[in-house]
Amino acid sequence: MAPYAFAVYRGDVPPWLPYISDAGGDPPQSAVFSMGMALIGLMFVMGIYLCYLILETQNINDCKLITWLGKLLILAGFFMCIGLFGIATNPTGHLRRDGSWTWVVLVPHLLGAATFFSSSIGMMALLTFTTFLLERPNWLNRLFVSRATILMGSLLGGLLVLVGLPALSEVEGLKPSPDHGRVYPPGTTWSAFGEWLIVLTFMLFVATFIPMFRRTKITLVVDYKK
């Protein structure tokens, strides 16, 4: 939120529903935004692997499907990290020396964002389904309902992003300008809203990890032999 507040204060983006990446795309807030994305990516790889270990511990009936879903979960976490790195290393407020932007900055950034969003929604779907499998026959509990509801919100956000994306002919108009902040073409409000919805539902979903992590004891064993 700090990069967003600073971007609005500096006039880099409008206060109402800017694209999140644009709020963190211009210097100096782009440095904080990029470091945050990279750090979150690294932490999430470790967090997702911990989720996998917890699922394996909960899988007392040795369900092969849960084991495979756990492995897919690790893969989703890896791609989420890659996507966040793609976002972090291609801030939308930067330009090449020759002034080019669309193909050298925006497209790599969008690929990173698409990778992160699709992988994060996939992660939510995998964990929601594994919650159902592990909690049967009493699957209709608070955890499953919470995760399923949040997942529906993220899917809605993804749909809004796709529906509201600007046309290719309008993309060049999003290029950073030295004369003014971001000016969005008409119709992008729903896309920006969908992006914010995905991020907020992602944060809510991560919050559902807290009870699971609280009941987890991690022991590190280092065995050194000459």
How buried is 168 (Cβ within 10 angstroms: 0-12 exposed, 13-18 middle, 19+ buried)? Answer: exposed
pLDDT in tens, 92-102: 988 888 889 99
Half-sphere exposure of 217 (CA within 13 A, CB side): 2
- Provide the pLDDT for residue 120: 96
- Provide the pLDDT for residue 46: 92
- Provide the pLDDT for residue 208: 94
Integer Cα distance of 122 and 186 in angstroms: 30
Query: How confident is residue 206, by pLDDT bands cut at 50, 70 and 90?
Result: very high
3-state SS, residue 15: coil
Q: What is the mean pLDDT of residues 70-90?
A: 95
pLDDT in tens, 38-63: 999 999 899 999 999 999 999 988 99
Q: pTM of the prediction?
A: 0.90
